């Protein structure tokens, strides 16, 4: 064998390892779908994305654009028995500032794989930018199969925060079309860890879904406080953003003002926007505004279509009027 051939055989493995350590990816082993999503989401220059690709993360054609690990998907996420017989599943999101994107992802990936917790990552920096739109901030989605998994995720986020890494503050999500505004920022994690409801009774809470939409995530979270796997990590009154409450307040008052009678009013609250009722409970003036609107409908005798509606309406309104702390006042108005 020629000396030059022997030298190449000895040197090539070393060069390959050097490329890997530098975050350089050999693209001939990466499918075109993954390549395209990395390019679209500005991940080509990211050392974190290079790390994931070298660890065999790839885009699932059925779940574009997210990078998934080469590990078995979990059969089912952690589920609790919620109020009123609901079955509720939770999940976590990880947010990372663009500055710390390349630092957080490799460490988080190694931690989650070591602890056998299923997850997926964004394919590039674009998701860390507000211009991303509804998916802004979702650097990683984590699917926990057990209560213990959630505690591991929390511990991992605390560890990242203790290293000085930062996520994206909740205040960045409140205005605009950002789905993360329907989640809770877990205190002590430098805005890295977010927590929310994934499914209710097996049905995903999201856009254009029936019967639950994104706003129902906070509703079910609030209504089942103390039952969720990370509920003991925060106080609800400290994490609900007042600016968001104002938005709910305005939308709720508009909804009340545009209803023709109490039957329609309670139907809309129960089926479309229960989140408003809980948001109102944090501000006395919101409760008073709603009470004034209800009084107006009562004075106009707009209960519904029959003489028996008053009693039925009061029974149907019990839940949300009690949540608002105005149950007794409504009963007095309806006498």
The pLDDT score that the predictor gives to residue 22 is: 46
Domain 79-239 in this protein, CATH class: alpha beta
- Residue where the block lists tokens 């406080």: 225
The pLDDT score that the predictor gives to residue 302 is: 53
Each residue's pLDDT tens digit, 150-196: 999 999 999 999 999 999 998 888 777 788 988 899 999 999 999 99
The pLDDT score that the predictor gives to residue 57 is: 98
Asked if residue 16 has pLDDT above 70, the reply is: no
Q: 17 near 71, Cβ under 8 Å?
A: no
The pLDDT score that the predictor gives to residue 61 is: 94
CA distance 162 to 335: 58
Q: 149 near 78, Cβ under 8 Å?
A: yes
Mean pLDDT of the residues in the chain: 79
* Tokens matching residue 24: 């350089």
The pLDDT score that the predictor gives to residue 158 is: 98
In 3-state terms the chain splits into helix, strand, coil percentages (rounded to 5) of 55, 10, 35
CA distance 173 to 214: 14
Q: CA angle, corner 217, sides to 215 and 221, nearest 5?
A: 130
Contacts of 12 (CB under 8 A, 6+ apart): none
What's the mean pLDDT in 109-131?
97
Asked if residue 304 has pLDDT above 60, the reply is: no
Asked if residue 147 has pLDDT above 80, the reply is: yes
The pLDDT score that the predictor gives to residue 19 is: 42
What's the mean pLDDT in 137-145?
97
Asked if residue 10 has pLDDT above 90, the reply is: no
The pLDDT score that the predictor gives to residue 206 is: 81
Comparing 123-127, 183-187, 260-264, 303-307, which segment has the lowest mean pLDDT? 303-307
The pLDDT score that the predictor gives to residue 219 is: 75
Q: 167 near 95, Cβ under 8 Å?
A: yes
pTM: 0.71
Question: Distances in Å between the alpha carbon of 77 and those of 74, 91, 131?
Answer: 7, 8, 31
What's the mean pLDDT in 279-297?
62
Comparing 74 with 296, the larger pLDDT belongs to: 74
The pLDDT score that the predictor gives to residue 9 is: 43
Label residue 24 by pLDDT band (50, 70, 90): very low
The pLDDT score that the predictor gives to residue 84 is: 85
- Which contacts qualify for 246-251: CB closer than 8 Å, 24 or more apart? 247/174, 248/275, 248/276, 248/279, 248/280, 249/276, 249/279, 249/280, 249/283, 249/286, 249/289, 251/276
The pLDDT score that the predictor gives to residue 7 is: 46
Comparing 96-100, 218-222, 300-304, 330-334, which segment has the lowest mean pLDDT? 300-304
Contacts of 192 (CB under 8 A, 6+ apart): 94, 95, 96, 104, 157, 160, 161, 165, 166, 167
CA distance 182 to 172: 12
Distance of CA 216 to the CA centre of its chain: 11
Asked if residue 55 has pLDDT above 80, the reply is: yes
Q: Strands, E, within 286-332: which ranges?
A: none
Above pLDDT 70, what percent of the chain?
61
Comparing 328 with 267, the larger pLDDT belongs to: 328
The pLDDT score that the predictor gives to residue 45 is: 97
Asked if residue 27 has pLDDT above 80, the reply is: no
* Tokens matching residue 52: 């994931």
């Amino acid at each position: 064998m020629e000396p030059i051939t022997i030298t190449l055989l000895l040197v090539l493995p070393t060069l390959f390892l050097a490329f890997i350590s530098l975050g350089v990816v050999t693209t001939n082993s990466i499918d075109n779908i993954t390549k395209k999503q990395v390019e679209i989401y500005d991940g080509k220059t990211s050392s974190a994305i290079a790390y994931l690709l070298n660890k065999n993360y790839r885009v699932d054609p059925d779940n574009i654009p997210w990078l998934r690990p080469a590990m078995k998907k979990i059969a089912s996420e952690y589920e609790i028995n919620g109020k009123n017989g609901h079955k509720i599943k939770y999940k976590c999101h990880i947010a990372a500032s663009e500055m710390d994107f390349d630092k957080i992802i490799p460490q988080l990936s190694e931690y989650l794989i070591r602890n056998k917790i299923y997850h997926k990552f964004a394919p590039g920096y674009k998701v860390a930018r507000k211009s991303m739109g509804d998916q802004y901030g979702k650097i990683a989605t984590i699917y926990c199969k057990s209560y213990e998994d959630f505690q591991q995720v929390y511990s991992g986020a605390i560890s990242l925060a203790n290293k000085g890494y930062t996520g994206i503050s909740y205040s960045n999500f409140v205005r605009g079309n950002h789905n993360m505004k329907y989640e809770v920022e877990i205190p002590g994690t430098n805005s890295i860890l977010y927590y929310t409801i994934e499914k209710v009774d097996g049905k995903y809470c999201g856009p254009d879904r029936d019967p639950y939409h994104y706003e129902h995530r906070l509703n079910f979270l609030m209504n089942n406080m103390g039952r969720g796997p990370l509920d003991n990590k925060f106080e609800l009154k400290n994490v609900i953003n007042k600016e968001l409450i104002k938005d709910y307040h305005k939308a709720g008052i508009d909804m009340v003002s545009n209803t023709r009678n109490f039957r329609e009013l309670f139907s809309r609250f129960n089926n479309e926007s229960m989140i408003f009722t809980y948001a109102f409970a944090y501000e006395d003036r919101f409760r008073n505004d709603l009470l004034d609107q209800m009084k107006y409908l009562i004075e106009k005798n707009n209960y519904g279509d029959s003489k028996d509606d008053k009693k039925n309406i009061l029974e149907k309104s019990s839940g949300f009027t009690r949540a608002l702390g105005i149950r007794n006042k409504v009963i007095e108005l309806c006498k």
